[in-house]
Structure 1
Amino acid sequence: MNFDRSKIFQVISLLLSSIIGVGLNIIIGFLIPSMLDFDDFSKYRILMFYIGFIPILHVGYIDGILMKYSSISTEELDKYSFKKSLYIFSIIQLFITLIMSMIVYSTLGKSVYLYICFLIPFVNISGYITKVMVLKNKFKLISLFNLFLKIALVLTALIMMLLHIKNYYYLVYAVYITYILQIIIGYFSVIKNNEKSEEITFSSELKLIKTGFPIVSAYFISTFLLGLDRIFIERSGNLEEYAYYSFAYSLITIFITIFDSLTVLIFPMIMKMEKNKQIEFFETSKVILNILFSITIIFVILIFPMINIFIPKYNNSIIYFIILFPIIFIRLNYSIRIIPQINALAETKFALLYNIFCVFILSFLNFTIYILKLNFIFYGFATVIVLSALNYFLEKRIVTNFNMNTFRSESHQLMIIILFLIVYLNLNTYTYLFGVFLNIVMLYFFYKNNIIKITKKIKIKG
């Protein structure tokens, strides 16, 4: 597989910002829970959790813009300002915020959920500007944006620690300031100073929503699936246990960050590929993700002493972290490989329907756990199983389109799941190390030829 030097630099810049982001996430992951009590930490995690659902309120408009302009060259696209559509979009988002805030305030009063409502225009306007940056290849700026929130949270947490402040409100203010800065910088960088804007009509805007709605809906539902367990745990009223579970998720986020930011490159890149190149990317990326997963689990055990040393009051989170760990690569597989390819193949409606079906299944499983008052560990099991099934069947749809043979990688995935179940059922250092060793053996057995093949194919054009 050949790569342009410019593409390599784009990936490297995002990767470097992600590596820095991982370091900042580690600081955030250990510093904030050590400062706050369980109640404030739970509210902070609730805020950060529900921010992930805010993009559904742009009803696909932003994704429609990405779909519409992805095939246009960067040189031609630089002439468009996107100014008029941004103004209209901003007014609509402010109106939605007003309605949502009134509903929340009248039912829940001044609470963390009201602060989430106030974030709606900031998150979605920032998302609009970020998509324009993707279209215009402003990846250095995107890399900087990826670090803004993390830097703001670290600085705020350090100031709070020095001043002995233990109120999560200050972290909320840091989130607001970050999004406002992103909007201001992004507006003057990619929106304001271009030459022309397309004429905006009701039908053209409606077409954008029609195109993007299945995409944002599928993303929203997949995010909902990923967070459904925490919604049920939150409803249980046990904020301390919610804090343990959320802390485990915050550690999961640390691992996701280093690779997840690369997803902004994938969809425009796939849209410009020929079919044979799409197949090659789909196969190669699967091998790479499986190899990364196999290598990463070797280092998971290092998390245990870190928690014991730096934040021992969260020792109860370790078991949740082990159970939830496969979600890292389930989610990466979904966002880097499956969804971009589903979009490129115009199979978004199928993906949306299957996501909805999985929501019903996981809701039923979580509701059963909730009613029977089972251990919260079962929420983790249910989430991993349903998300794995979602990935499997969506990938089958893509494989059918490409007429591919994926028996080897599917067999490896199945063996990894069985291996992890064995480790879960008898969790101790020896079974964990045995699982790591066995996975390395499987990695060599399944992918030796693929690794050699990939190494030979990667060439950099001058």
Structure 2
Amino acid sequence: MVLEQRRLVAASAKKSGPVGGARLKKFRTLFLNISYTVSSNLLTLIVSTVVTLFLPKLLGIEAYGYFQLYVFYVSYVGFLHFGWCDGIYLKYGGERYDTLDKATFSGQFYALLISQTLITLAFVLAIVLFGGSSGEKELVLLASALNIVILNMRTFSTFVLQATNRMKDFSVITILDRLVYVILVIGLLAFRVARFEYYIAADMIGKLVSLIVSFVKIKSIAFPKKTGIAWDKTEAIDNVRVGINLMFANIASTLILGIVRFGIQTQWSVAVFGKISLTLSISNLLMVFVNAVSLAIFPLLKRVKESEYARIYPIVRSIIMPLVLAALLCYYPLNIILVKWLPNYADSLRYMAIVFPMVVFESKVSLLTNTYLKALRKERKIFQVNLMSALLSLISTLVLVFGLKSLFLSMLSIVLLLAFRSSYAEMILARYIDITIYQDMAVEFLLVGAFIVTSWHLSMAVGAIIYSILLAGYFIWKRHDFVQIRQLIKS
């Protein structure tokens, strides 16, 4: 029996020939890359969980609010390389690291380092001179400013690694960052240190260590010996020109949530801001794995013919969306556990019923629409979608936060805005690759709407039962797609 199985395997391999071997190699590469990124992001998830569960309990509401303010500000420092790194990522996505012109890349590396150092010094000087009277807020601003050079230089390194499909090295950098951070945080928690400044310092130390390691991973660029440094002004301008659209798209994307959060911070206290930020952080925990997979898909997609996109997209979509919709079931046990663990945050954790489905729309954008639009070099379309969503965010914030002063409607607007962005982007992509997805989108909207209504108005048990029944109906409706996916994967 064993000999017969071996004979069949050998015959199959012989039939597949070089094409089958190439496909197997591609699948193995994709699987390994996803494994690397998921492993690194699993640690990120663990760190996020530790911080989310223990920090608010130890720091207190106001101190935790300042820590969240630091996290909020740091999320914007990546835009100060003005699309330089994004341009490199888009231009060289799918290339081999060995074939890169190291001298030119070294020139880009050091030019970026000088520019980011000068920008950091300018921000530090401005904060010292015009920082205001609040010592805590000034400290948060200074720490955020120091992240400019640290994060943006690390972004250069990691984007080069991602673009050239060196996902293992990229994962090492991510793992090291979060590993150092979590060790320091656990130490601080063990000694019951209740000052938010120390946790900010721990985060920065983790980033600094990973920055140094990232330079080692691209040492032929960061520390050139044989190739030297070639400063190419045209290359720098072209990188910024190519990347600026994606950078603007990312800014607009961040502003969708950022405007609402800024409005909440302005209209309500730091304590309320901290509570709401906690709810959003918990709702985004599942995005760690989604982002891990999307990082691995982009360089591989760049090596696939565009004519294949229309065939691949529905398959990937029919795998991703059922999994993400099923992941909403995590809300019910998670909410029960968190309310018992963090009773002081019980009032804000109730809003999880509204914002938890953001993972559905964010997953679609991260894994599907944005990855495909980047591969098609449609960064301007991404910017168009995000800009419209950001403008709608501004209008809704002015009306709901400053006009009606309704925290409930402000939180609901977050999901509606992300749903709009996800749907608009997918409709644009559908036109480019000539597919039809409207029926699936409508069913997904109904499921998310049912989840929000039942979770907000009904008890945990009843809400879970109703959503589970609806989800089972959805899986039955999609059963033919699952059969087709299985056949295509086997072939």
Deviation at 1:373, TM superposition (A): 4.7
1:214 is the counterpart of 2:245? yes
**Contact 1:248–1:317, Cα closer than 8 Å, also in 2:** yes
1:410 is the counterpart of 2:441? yes
**Contact 2:37–2:295, Cα closer than 8 Å, also in 1:** no
Partner of 2:58: 35
Partner of 1:272: 303
| Structure 2 residue ranges without an equivalent (≥5) | 1-22, 133-137
**Contact 1:25–1:150, Cα closer than 8 Å, also in 2:** no
Match of 1:134 among 158, 162, 185: 162
Q: What is the CA deviation profile of residues 290-315 of structure 1, one whole-angstrom value per residue up to 9, with x for unaligned ones?
A: 11122212221111232133222222
**Contact 1:270–1:344, Cα closer than 8 Å, also in 2:** yes
Q: Which has the higher contact order (CA 8 A, sep 6+)?
A: 1
CA distance in 1, matches of 2:33, 2:94: 18
Deviation at 1:151, TM superposition (A): 2.6
Match of 1:164 among 167, 192, 195: 192
**Contact 1:18–1:261, Cα closer than 8 Å, also in 2:** yes
**Contact 1:320–1:377, Cα closer than 8 Å, also in 2:** yes
Match of 1:185 among 188, 213, 217: 213
**Contact 2:104–2:230, Cα closer than 8 Å, also in 1:** no
Deviation at 1:371, TM superposition (A): 2.2
CA distance in 1, matches of 2:229, 2:110: 13
Match of 2:282 among 238, 246, 251: 251
CA distance in 2, matches of 1:31, 1:54: 26
CA distance in 1, matches of 2:388, 2:306: 29
Deviation at 1:428, TM superposition (A): 2.2
Label 1:376 to 1:147 Cα distance change in 2 as closer, same or farther (>3 A).
farther
Partner of 1:429: 460
Match of 1:89 among 106, 112, 122: 112
Deviation at 1:214, TM superposition (A): 0.3
Partner of 1:122: 150
**Contact 1:58–1:93, Cα closer than 8 Å, also in 2:** yes
Label 1:303 to 1:417 Cα distance change in 2 as closer, same or farther (>3 A).
closer
Query: Secondary structure of the equivalent of 1:262?
Result: helix
CA distance in 2, matches of 1:415, 1:445: 16
CA distance in 1, matches of 2:229, 2:126: 36
Deviation at 1:256, TM superposition (A): 1.3
**Contact 1:287–1:409, Cα closer than 8 Å, also in 2:** no
Amino acid at match of 1:89: L
**Contact 1:62–1:131, Cα closer than 8 Å, also in 2:** yes
CA distance in 2, matches of 1:435, 1:241: 31
Amino acid at match of 1:39: E
**Contact 1:297–1:436, Cα closer than 8 Å, also in 2:** no
CA distance in 2, matches of 1:451, 1:162: 48
Q: What is the CA deviation profile of residues 326-368 of structure 1, one whole-angstrom value per residue up to 9, with x for unaligned ones?
A: 1112112112211122222232223213322221211111111
Partner of 1:288: 319
Deviation at 1:248, TM superposition (A): 0.8
CA distance in 2, matches of 1:416, 1:442: 10
1:15 is the counterpart of 2:43? no
CA distance in 2, matches of 1:202, 1:36: 48
**Contact 1:53–1:224, Cα closer than 8 Å, also in 2:** no
Partner of 2:139: 111
- Judge which range, 241-250 or 125-134, deviates more: 241-250
| Structure 1 residue ranges without an equivalent (≥5) | none
Label 1:323 to 1:116 Cα distance change in 2 as closer, same or farther (>3 A).
same
Deviation at 1:125, TM superposition (A): 0.4
Deviation at 1:245, TM superposition (A): 0.7
Partner of 1:144: 172
- Judge which range, 361-370 or 429-438, deviates more: 429-438
Amino acid at match of 2:75: G
- Judge which range, 197-206 or 386-395, deviates more: 197-206
CA distance in 2, matches of 1:140, 1:72: 16
Label 1:356 to 1:432 Cα distance change in 2 as closer, same or farther (>3 A).
same
Partner of 2:203: 175
Query: Secondary structure of the equivalent of 2:478?
Result: helix
**Contact 1:408–1:446, Cα closer than 8 Å, also in 2:** no
CA distance in 1, matches of 2:103, 2:318: 39
**Contact 2:179–2:206, Cα closer than 8 Å, also in 1:** no
Deviation at 1:216, TM superposition (A): 1.4
Normalising by structure 2, we get a TM-score of: 0.87
Amino acid at match of 2:208: I
RMSD: 2.3
1:302 is the counterpart of 2:330? no
**Contact 1:221–1:356, Cα closer than 8 Å, also in 2:** yes
1:225 is the counterpart of 2:256? yes
Identity value in percent: 16
Q: What is the CA deviation profile of residues 33-72 of structure 1, one whole-angstrom value per residue up to 9, with x for unaligned ones?
A: 1110111101111111222211111111001111222243
CA distance in 2, matches of 1:235, 1:432: 34
Q: What is the CA deviation profile of residues 172-207 of structure 1, one whole-angstrom value per residue up to 9, with x for unaligned ones?
A: 111221222112111122233665368432222111
Match of 2:375 among 315, 336, 344: 344
Partner of 1:55: 78
**Contact 1:34–1:311, Cα closer than 8 Å, also in 2:** yes
Label 1:393 to 1:308 Cα distance change in 2 as closer, same or farther (>3 A).
closer
Query: Secondary structure of the equivalent of 1:72?
Result: coil
Partner of 2:19: none
Q: How many residues align?
A: 460
Label 1:197 to 1:279 Cα distance change in 2 as closer, same or farther (>3 A).
farther
Larger radius of gyration: 2
**Contact 2:322–2:475, Cα closer than 8 Å, also in 1:** no
Partner of 1:440: 471
